[in-house]
Amino acid sequence: GDSWGIFTFLCAALCNLPALPALNCSEELGAGQSIQQTYDLTRYLEHQLRSLAGTYLNYLGPPFNEPDFNPPRLARTERVPSATVDLDLWRGLTDNARLAANYRAYSRLLCYLRVLDGQVGTAELRHRLAHFCASLQGLVLSIGGVMSSLGYPLPAGPPAPPGAPLASNDFLKKMDDFWLLKELQTWLWRSAKDFNRLKKKVPPAVVTLRLEAREF
C-alpha cells in the first residue's frame, strides 16, 4: 500500500545519503567537578575525625577527654599550623591564597599525624590513624588538583617534616596531641566552608556537543 511505498522510499533515501558529521557528546571534567569532589572529601574527613578524636582523647584519658577541657595553646605547639585567623581577614584573601594556605597546612598536619601514628600503643587506634592519614593525603592531592585546574601554581616544594622537640613529660606530650586534633578540626571546618563558597563561584562540569567532520 501507500505506507509501504513511503517506507521503502525513505530507506532508499537514507542509504544513499552521504556520511553526515557525527554528533559526539563528551563530558569535560573541569574545576567545578574537582572542587565538588574536594568539598565532599573535606566533609567526609570532618565526620571521620569526630569519631577518631573521641577515641583518641579517651586513649589520652582525663582531663583531655573531658568536654569542658579547653587549655591555652602552649608555645611548643606553635609549629602546628593554626586555623585561628580572623574570619573576615581569611575571607579577604584571594582564592589562590586560601587554597595555598590549605595545601601547606594539611601537608604539615599530615606529617604530625604520621608521627602520632607511630607512637600510639594500640593496634586498633594505629589502624584508624593510618586510615585517616590516607584520607588526608587524598585531600592534599585533591586541593593540588583544584589549584591546577584553576591555573594556580602549587606552593614551592613539600614542607620539611616537623622537628618538634620531644615533650619533657607525658602531660606535655598529650597536650601536643590534643592541640593537633583541635587545630585539624578547625581547619576542616573552615575548609568545608571555603570549598562550598568556591563551588558556587565556579560552574560545574558541562556537557559539550561537538561535531566531528567526516569525509564524504
What is the percent of the chain where pLDDT is above 90?
43
Question: What is the span of the domain harbouring residue 57?
Answer: 31-201
Average pLDDT of the residues in 47-53: 93
Number of domains in the chain: 1
Is the distance from CB of 102 to CB of 157 less than 8 angstroms? Answer: no
pTM, two decimal places = 0.76
Asked if residue 85 is part of any domain, the answer here is yes
pLDDT-derived band at 174, boundaries 50, 70, 90: confident
Q: Count H helices, E strands: the chain?
A: 6, 2
Asked if residue 196 is part of any domain, the answer here is yes
CATH number of the domain within which 146 lies: 1.20.1250.10
Asked if residue 127 is part of any domain, the answer here is yes
Asked if residue 2 is part of any domain, the answer here is no
Q: How far is residue 83 CA from its own chain's centroid?
A: 16
Asked if residue 9 is part of any domain, the answer here is no
Q: How far is CA 144 from CA 35, 71, 128, 138, 205, in A?
A: 11, 34, 25, 10, 18
Identify the pLDDT of residue 171: 87
